[in-house]
Amino acid sequence: RDCQQADIKYLSGWKQWKRTSSKSLKKVLGDVKELSSYLELWRHDIHSIEGKFGTGIQSYFSFLRFLVLLNFIIFILMFSFVTLPSIISKYGVFNSSFAKIPPKNIEPHCTVYEPNGNKGLVYFYTYLKDLLSGTGFLEVTVLFYGYYTIDAAWISILKYNLPLAYLLATFAYLALSLIWIIKRSVGGFKQNLVHNEDQFQSYCNKVFAGWDFCITDPNAARLKHRSLLYELQTDLEEERLKRKIADRTTKEKLRIYSLRIFINIIVIAVLSGCFYSIYRATVFSQENSNVSIRHDVRRDSANLLVQYLPSMVITLANFIAPQIFSFLIRFEDYSPAFEIRLTLMRCVFVRLANIGVLLFSLWSQISYCATDKCNACGYNYELYPCWESEVGQEMYKLMIFDFIIILAVILFVDFPRKLLVTHCSCKPVQWCGLQEFGISDNVLEIIYGQTICWIGTFFSPLLPAIATIKYFIIFYIKKISLIHTRKPAARPIRASSSNFFFLVVLLIGLVLAFIPLGISIAHIPSSKACGPFRNFNTSWAVVPYTIDGFPTGLQQVLYGIGSEAFAVPFFMVICLIMFYFIALAGAHKRVVEQLREQLVMVRFDPLFCTPKV
């Protein structure tokens, strides 16, 4: 430091200012980072959960916080670029206006769309039904796709292309989600590699470098003690299972493998039953919910149940199947971390495939045309005059019913069970005990809801706002349930590997969301009676239409980028770059292995040994 201070005298004024400003900038960034850590959402609550219940359960609540922030940013994006310009132009704020261009070369019957708004005297249960299903007064609000029937918005002297903004905002929130998930996954992947590389190093890090000497508060110290205790318990449990697996005899291996095969047959049977039940419920609902009977509460309620039967069956399957899988996994004798992964993968097939079955059933009905009038529109205009809003309502119902089920389980299952265990001394009740906080079940609940949000945001732009509120409430509900009605897992679970796997499963849900959105945007004809794309054959058609309005030189450049002559060389260059980084990573890995071998040899080389005194 003294040498650096002496060298400053001989530096030029520019270099002195540059060094001083660099130090000041680093200090300011450090202060901002420290301040932002105090402003972090649920910081104290998550640290408290980590100390009391371990890093495994803490990872679930951190994951939930990540989804709250992600959905909030997606909501800001869609509201700023889609909803707000539509509202401003329709109400004439800032001297704004909007334009509606009548569809050209479209049959008149394709442009008829009369939402079922509530007129005259309306009963209270009608409002409740509309709130649960997204129909009635909600159907004509900014919540659904049908509201945005604007071709262009004029804000002062600026023209705002709403169809293009709608499509680009959809691509933006999908790209944002992908980049953010990959960024978080890279950090978890690095921690996973460090942990799996050397078990002894993990022990040394916890024992000799695990304590945070900045802790001065006694409560924080106790929380840190408990956190380290759970980490060491997890290490010992995994080592015990590894030793147990290594000591298995041939007879024991044959027994456990046979048992696993039998359990997997049961799992396949459960999955098949769930898929078939959803398929039959969807077919029955589509065939029997088309007739609307008014002024008869009983028949109207029965028709409502039939209409929402697919959502109810999906929610029921999503609730029962994970319980069966969590029960069966106990007999397969896996490590705690692998139990979470296997249970999650099994439940992923149930929940995400359920959404796929529902969407496939809807699209088969939307695309079914038996008359020339229907073929002229390109979709079933009689049943679905604004089919995008119909799909948005289905996603809305799935999200609402999923939230209701989570509340119902906590209120009508967990709390009564807690009361029975506390105040009833019967042996069966005490044998059941409190229910464990199943990390895999809870993580899959929010991943399922997030996949619904990604798919439904295109059809319901404000769905991320509902998801944000939903997850915000779920955080406190789950926290109260964990502290008062649940108990931590009997076997502690590591957070480093679980965090990475949670993000991988979330990435699978995002990739699944790409498929139906891609089909809806590029393949299925857009509604001609509602929405910003009513003047285009498909939603994607707005992109070439916009490019045709650019100057000729720019058009040639963009069409050249989209041609095969550019795509093939670009793909080859990307492959070469990828192979280069793979080779570089392999070389770095070999260097690390050599350095590790040298460190091991240091203990046995007499040149490095300390002489005895």
DSSP letters, 217-230, are: -HHHHHHHHHHHHH
For residue 463, pLDDT over 50 is answered with yes
Virtual torsion, Cα 320, 321, 324, 330, nearest 10 deg: -130
- Six-digit token string for 482: 């964990």
Q: In the predicted model, what is the mean pLDDT of the chain? A: 78
Query: What's the one-letter identity of residue 163?
Result: P
CA atoms within 13 A on the CB side of 259: 13
Tell me if 232 is assigned to some domain: no
Residue 149's SS3 state is coil
Write out the two tokens for 601: 């040899």
Bridge-based pairing of strands 435-436 and 158-160 is unpaired
pLDDT value, residue 304: 65
Of 443, 234, 460, nearest to 344 by C-alpha is 443
Per-residue pLDDT at 12: 65
Residue 303 pLDDT: 64
Count up the domains in the chain and report the number.
2
User: Looking at the structure, do residues 474 and 340 belong to the same domain, yes or no?
Assistant: yes
* Nearest-angstrom CA–CA distance, 380 and 394: 17
Across the range 382-399, mean pLDDT stands at: 85
User: Is there a domain that residue 440 lies in?
Assistant: yes
pLDDT in tens, 294-334: 545 566 567 667 767 777 888 788 778 878 887 888 887 77
How many whole angstroms separate alpha carbon 421 and alpha carbon 430?
6
Residues 414 and 537 in one domain: yes
For residue 295, the model assigns a pLDDT of 47
* Residues forming beta bridges with residue 493, ordered by sequence position: none
Provide the pLDDT for residue 234: 73
- pLDDT for the residue numbered 94: 57
Higher pLDDT, 318 or 511: 511
- Residues 579 and 533 reside in one and the same domain: no
- How far is it, in rounded angstroms, from Cα 434 to Cα 437? 9
Nearest to 453 by CA among 443, 463, 442, 461: 463
| 3-state DSSP of 464-521 | HHHHHHHHHHHHHHHHHHHHHCEECCCCCCCHHHHHHHHHHHHHHHHHHHHHHHHHHH
In this predicted model, what pLDDT tens digit does every residue of 553-588 receive, in sequence order? 887 887 777 777 777 888 888 888 888 888 888 888
Q: Which of 8-17, 176-185, 235-244, 562-571 shows the lowest per-residue confidence on average (mean pLDDT)?
A: 8-17
Bridge-partner residues for 239, per DSSP?
Answer: none
Same domain, yes or no: 439 and 580: no
Q: Is residue 175 domain-resident?
A: yes
My answer on whether 143 and 200 are in the same domain is: yes
Q: Which of 36-45, 219-228, 415-424 has the lowest mean pLDDT?
A: 219-228
H helix runs in 410-462, sequence order:
415-423, 427-432, 439-456
Residues 460 and 568 in one domain: no
What are φ and ψ of residue 11, in 5° steps?
Answer: -85, 155
Asked whether residue 26 is assigned to any structural domain, the reply reads no
Is residue 242 within a helix (H) or strand (E), and if so which, with residue range? helix 218-246
Least trusted range by pLDDT, from 87-96, 371-380, 544-553, 589-598: 87-96
Residue 330 and residue 363 in one domain: yes
Statement to judge: residues 453 and 573 lie in one domain: no
Range of the domain at 357: 53-205+323-546
Q: Measure the CA dihedral 332/335/340/345, to 10°.
A: -60
Residue ending a domain, among 546, 573, 596, is: 546
pLDDT, tens digit, 9 for 90 and up, residues 425-452: 777 766 666 777 777 778 888 888 899 9
Q: How would residue 70 be classed by pLDDT, with cut points 50, 70 and 90? A: very high
State which of 517, 546, 575 marks the end of a domain.
Answer: 546
Together in a domain, 519 and 556: no
pLDDT at residue 96, as a whole number: 57
Instruction: Flag whether 30 is in a domain.
Output: no
Retrieve residue 419's tokens. 């009361």
